[in-house]
Amino acid sequence: MKEWPRRDALKLLLASSGLALTACSGLSRVTKQRLRVVVIGAGFGGATAAKYIALNNPQIEVLLIERKKAFISGVFSNTVIAGINDIDGITHPLQRLQANHRINLICATVTAVDPEQRKVWLESGERISYDRLVVSPGIDIRWNALEGYDQAASILMPHAWQAGQQTLLLKQQLRAMPDGGVVVISSPADPFRCPPGPYERASLIAYYLKRHKPRSKILILDSKNSFAKQPLFEQGWQRLYPGMIEWISLSNGGRVVAVEAAQGRVHTEIDEFKPDVANIIPPQQAGQIAQQAGLVDSTGWCPVNQQTFESHQIPGIYVIGDSSLAGYMPKSAYAANCQAKVCAQAVVADLVGEAPLEPTFINTCYSLLAPDYAISIAAVYRLRSGEIMPVNGAGGSTPIQATLEDLASEAGYARGWYRNIVADSFG
Amino acid sequence: MKQSTFTVLLMLLLSSASYAEIQLNATMLSLPCTGCHGSEGKSQRAIPSLNVMSREQIYRAMKSFKNDQRHATLMNRIAKGYSDSELRLIADYFGVKP
């Protein structure tokens, strides 16, 4: 069993300028050992938090624990399914964080958190101590929340809501489908990761089918009565894929309640479907380690102080990204990136005995309907009475009367957005 | 009824007044921008870099987006979320980046 000691602290502090010591007055622990922040999960939230803690205060030792060697983003994974991008285009190595910001990357799975001892346990049995812990594990699928939808079923009916093998599986199934086939996309009730995602997926699957299997249909079975950017999606479907996409709302019986994966059957409350391809986007909850560590409440998500992202359940642990309950912010990559920077400032301030600064947030989210047609939604957020709320009069969606030229520009910006957020988070 | 409406209005007024007085830190205002515009305002593609613009250029652009005097696909929606003095802080933050 290996412990990760923090004894190199003094050496490093002495090597650095004396300014840091005086700036960190009241920081008695620093003289004993270097302060350490452990971050669990290297998605848009965790990677950004690790990077910005390191940037904010180079005296702090940052350990980033991630079980995968590279990050595969859910964002833009629909372009892989549509065949306009490949999986390498959404796969991002984590080594640059180590090289550029001296973050210690640990490729491992965390099995437990001990908040009393301030230690995390790895699958290998190793223990890593921390002064502050940031948890950013994304989502976990709520297996069997839809009757019959378990891990085995997800091989036959991929969710593709955690990118990687699942993305490729859905892509393969679409390639194998006959022309004239039916694709079912089951969309869950709120809250879930990437609210416009199912509808972008329907659009980009339609883009593929229109070119290769034009007699095919897409049926969206929804557990909601409305969805993000709905008028813009519907306008786009009318323009680009007339007659190809049908949306069945909750009140029209769209809610999927069960699947029989081996038989290829999808059941709603009132109907039964036997599609050629079933993409089941199931109900979700906070990532597994957040559940295990006791960071979730009865909603299955993690309540936090929305100024700092410190857990309401366990002090010294911060939860950001999809797992957190962050007021009115959606579960998006941009939200996670933004929350991570606010959290990074709060963690560093806390460690040096200062008050956290007043945060502001932005969310910007593009959805591609075709390679040259995209729509967006944005919001500016502030803290009001402890809750993250959108600023009135700002934000909103692409105007419904936007020109085709603007929609094409948005597609270009969407690709620029992707490049920049990836670099800001992983670079 | 009238009394309670008045109270509510007064509370709204007071809360928005105190809200407006919160002095925001330039970094905390500016870091949310870098997800789109790139770390330190250095964009890799399509979206304009902010570090190559002067403080005055950034401020004027944001003001004209905010007032809808200049057309953009998205920035008009974002710029409306900030007071003029906050836009100045953001412009000053990115305008001096190398």
CB distance A92 to A426 below 8 Å? yes
Top-confidence residue, B44 or A4: B44
The number of CA neighbours under 13 Å toward the Cβ of A167 is: 24
Give SS3 for A229: coil
In a domain, A166, yes or no: yes
**Pair A210, A273 in one domain:** yes
Q: Which residues of A touch B31 (CB under 8 A)?
A: 52, 338, 341-342
Report residue A170's pLDDT band, with 50, 70 and 90 as the boundaries: very high
In a domain, A176, yes or no: yes
pLDDT at A4: 56
**Pair A154, A119 in one domain:** no
How far apart (Å, rounded) are the C-alpha atoms in residues A254 and A252? 6
Check whether B17 has a pLDDT greater than 80. no
**Pair A230, A247 in one domain:** yes
Q: Does B68 touch chain A (CB under 8 A)?
A: no
Assign residue A354 a region (left: φ > 0; alpha: ψ between -120 and 50; beta: otherwise): beta
pLDDT at A65: 98
Tens-digit pLDDT profile for residues A45-92: 999 999 999 999 999 999 999 999 999 999 999 999 999 999 999 999
Contact criterion met (CB < 8 Å) for A413 and B47: yes
Check whether B58 has a pLDDT greater than 90. yes
Nearest CA in chain A to B30: A360
What CATH number was assigned to the domain covering residues B24-95? 1.10.760.10
Report residue B24's pLDDT band, with 50, 70 and 90 as the boundaries: confident
**Pair A337, A208 in one domain:** no
Domain boundaries, given as residue ranges, for chain B: 24-95
**Pair A121, A195 in one domain:** no
Question: What's the start-to-end Cα distance of chain A, in Å?
Answer: 33
Check whether A140 has a pLDDT greater than 50. yes
Of B19, B28, B78, which has the smallest distance from its Cβ to A394's Cβ? B78
pLDDT at B38: 97
In a domain, A195, yes or no: yes
Give SS3 for A212: helix
Q: Which residues of B touch A415 (CB under 8 A)?
A: 45-46
**Pair A311, A326 in one domain:** yes
| Residue type for position A309 | F
Parent domain of A13:
3-140+286-358
Share of chain A above pLDDT 90, in %: 92
**Dmax (CA) of chain A:** 71
Q: Kindly give, in sequence order, each residue whose CB lies less than 8 Å from that of residue A369, ignoring residues fewer than 6 positions away.
A: A200, A203, A204, A207, A233, A236, A237, A240, A375
Mean predicted confidence (pLDDT) in B5-30: 61
Q: Which residues of B touch A345 (CB under 8 A)?
A: 27-28
pLDDT at A3: 55
**Pair A252, A328 in one domain:** no
Check whether B64 has a pLDDT greater than 70. yes
ipTM exceeding 0.85, yes/no: yes
pLDDT at A6: 52
Name the A residues in 363-392 with CB < 8 Å from any B CB.
364, 376, 378-380, 382, 384, 391
Residues in chain A: 427
Mean predicted confidence (pLDDT) in B2-26: 54
Contact criterion met (CB < 8 Å) for A395 and B45: no
Tens-digit pLDDT profile for residues A142-151: 999 999 999 9
**Pair A28, A81 in one domain:** yes
In a domain, A221, yes or no: yes
Report residue B16's pLDDT band, with 50, 70 and 90 as the boundaries: very low
**Pair A270, A309 in one domain:** no
The beta-strand segments (E) located in A89-204 are 91-93, 104-107, 110-114, 119-122, 127-129, 132-135, 139-141, 182-187
| Residue type for position B20 | A
Report residue A192's pLDDT band, with 50, 70 and 90 as the boundaries: very high
Q: Does A186 touch chain B (CB under 8 A)?
A: no
In a domain, A385, yes or no: no
Q: Which residues of B touch A360 (CB under 8 A)?
A: 24, 28-29, 32
What's the CATH code of the domain at A94?
A: 3.50.50.60
Tens-digit pLDDT profile for residues A109-124: 999 999 999 999 999 9
Check whether B20 has a pLDDT greater than 90. no
In a domain, A376, yes or no: no
Q: Which residues of A touch B24 (CB under 8 A)?
A: 357-358, 360
Chain A interface mutation, best of B11, B34, B62, B76, highest count of A Cβ atoms under 10 Å: B34
How far apart (Å, rounded) are the C-alpha atoms in residues B83 and A401? 27
In a domain, A416, yes or no: no
Contact criterion met (CB < 8 Å) for B45 and A420: yes
Contact criterion met (CB < 8 Å) for B33 and A410: no
The residue out of A358, A390, A422 marking a domain boundary is: A358
The residue out of A244, A263, A282 marking a domain boundary is: A282
Top-confidence residue, A385 or B13: A385
Q: Kindly give, in sequence order, each residue whose CB lies less than 8 Å from that of residue A179, ignoring residues fewer than 6 positions away.
A: A212, A213, A214, A215, A216
pLDDT at B23: 74
Residues in chain B: 98
Count: domains in chain A: 2
In a domain, A393, yes or no: no
**Distance (Å) from the C-alpha of residue A421 to the closest C-alpha of chain B?**
4
Binning chain B into helix, strand and coil, the percentages to the nearest 5 are 65, 0, 35
pLDDT at A169: 98
Nearest CA in chain B to A384: B19
Q: Which residues of B touch A379 (CB under 8 A)?
A: 81
Check whether A17 has a pLDDT greater than 90. no
